[in-house]
Structure 1
Amino acid sequence: MRYLYVLVAVLSAISILNLLLTFGIIRRLRSQPMGRPVNYPGVLPVGAVAGDFAAWDIQDRPVSRDDLSGRTLVGFFSPGCSSCLERLPDFVAVSAAFGPERSWAVVLGDVEQAGEYLPSLEPVARVVLQDPDGPLMSAFSVSAFPTFFVVDAGGRVLSSGLTTEDLSVPTAA
């Protein structure tokens, strides 16, 4: 019977310690600011500046960091990427809030490979086709698809993420 009392006392002490640790974790989580940007591996974090780049969109217009004017939405897509296709309608909706000149869609490959994206992207964004080691891919250090950025006129990342929900932008009604 004595062992039973010892066992109950040890289990009670462990339970109280667990409860105290849980309260400590909850208190620490509540003290942290909400809505902090999420940093994903392989995605330029908020505050970083995109490198210099020079490319051409599919309308043969130059695209460079100097062409950024105000807040610009930049999305990166890859052919054959199921997540890219799932998030394409969200990007199109957010692009409507920015307008076609301040929405850029970067798609890996040539016109044939990017064909599944072009009907949705051309009306709402400037479309740039890139190789995996292209200048925009390097400037934004993209290694995951899809990846989305909102940048200012100087190329500084205002928000970034793997979904448009990660971006702090209004959507068009």
Structure 2
Amino acid sequence: MPVLIVAVALVGALCLLNLLFALGVIRRLREQTKLIDALYEVVGDMPDAGAGGSGPAAGDTVADFRATTTAGELVARDDLAAASVVAFLAADCKGCHEQLPGFLAWARDQDRGRVLAVVNADGADPRSFVEQLSPVARVVLEGAKPAVARAFKVTSYPQFVVVGPGATVAEVIHAASRLPVGAPA
């Protein structure tokens, strides 16, 4: 009987030790996640690869495009005024869902005519995005052949592109928290 008591006590102690190690690992993973998020914020401000890489870069000229918004408005490259922001989001993108509240809060204080949201609906149902974005932005839905995304050279989501004079890319931003203050509504 004393051997059984010692064995149970030993197993209990091992379980407690295992629990403490698991809690320590969880704490470290949370710290690492915060560090990775902070790194993502810093990397989001760095210039992109540009001509040799993928994605838009400051100074690129936006290719000609034509698209129809969910409200039936026609949108083309020449309709984008300087300091307009074009948000590229995807309905099946976890990062897009995380960035959406920040983008919506930013867009509420902007001139709706200078905010264009391009939602890639190829992988998931975009209705939630469209419902939330429509009051604060013109919304374009794109599918498997995204004309607007190709015109901007966007290959990943989320991305926020600030349009400069002459339909050039002034800035590429990867986090809604870093969007510039624009023309108020």
TM-score normalized by the length of structure 2: 0.66
Equivalence for 2:36: none
The list of structure 1 runs, each at least 4 consecutive aligned residues, that deviate by more than 3 angstroms after superposition, is none
The number of residues matched between the two structures is 135
Aligned-pair identity (%): 31
Q: Is the 8 A contact 2:103 2:177 kept in 1?
A: no
Of residues 137, 142, 157, the one that matches 1:125 is 137
Equivalence for 2:70: 58
Distance change (3 Å), C-alpha of 1:56 and 1:86 = same
Per the TM alignment, residue 109 of structure 1 is displaced from its structure 2 partner at its CA by: 2.1
Equivalence for 2:11: none
Per the TM alignment, residue 49 of structure 1 is displaced from its structure 2 partner at its CA by: 1.3
Equivalence for 1:113: 125
Give the Cα–Cα distance (whole angstroms) in 2 for the partners of residues 70 and 59 of structure 1: 23
Give the Cα–Cα distance (whole angstroms) in 2 for the partners of residues 121 and 153 of structure 1: 25
Q: Deviations over 1:13-47 (max 9, x none)?
A: xxxxxxxxxxxxxxxxxxxxxxxx51235331111
Give the Cα–Cα distance (whole angstroms) in 2 for the partners of residues 132 and 140 of structure 1: 16
Gaps in structure 2 of 5+ consecutive residues = 1-44
2:178 is the alignment partner of 1:170: no
Q: Cα RMSD between the aligned structures? A: 2.2
Of residues 142, 155, 168, the one that matches 2:154 is 142
Q: 3-state DSSP class of the match of 1:98? A: coil
Q: Deviations over 1:46-70 (max 9, x none)?
A: 1111111001001111010111123
2:48 is the alignment partner of 1:40: yes
2:173 is the alignment partner of 1:161: yes
Q: Is the 8 A contact 1:40 1:161 kept in 2?
A: no
Q: 3-state DSSP class of the match of 2:127? A: coil
Give the Cα–Cα distance (whole angstroms) in 1 for the partners of residues 74 and 149 of structure 2: 16
Q: Is the 8 A contact 2:117 2:137 kept in 1?
A: yes
Greater share of residues in helix: 2
Gaps in structure 1 of 5+ consecutive residues = 1-36
Equivalence for 1:90: 102
Give the Cα–Cα distance (whole angstroms) in 1 for the partners of residues 165 and 105 of structure 2: 22
Give the Cα–Cα distance (whole angstroms) in 1 for the partners of residues 167 and 66 of structure 2: 13
Q: Is the 8 A contact 2:82 2:167 kept in 1?
A: no
TM-score normalized by the length of structure 1: 0.70
Q: Deviations over 1:110-135 (max 9, x none)?
A: 7x821121222010000000124221
Counterpart residue type for residue 162 of structure 2: V
Q: 3-state DSSP class of the match of 2:119? A: strand
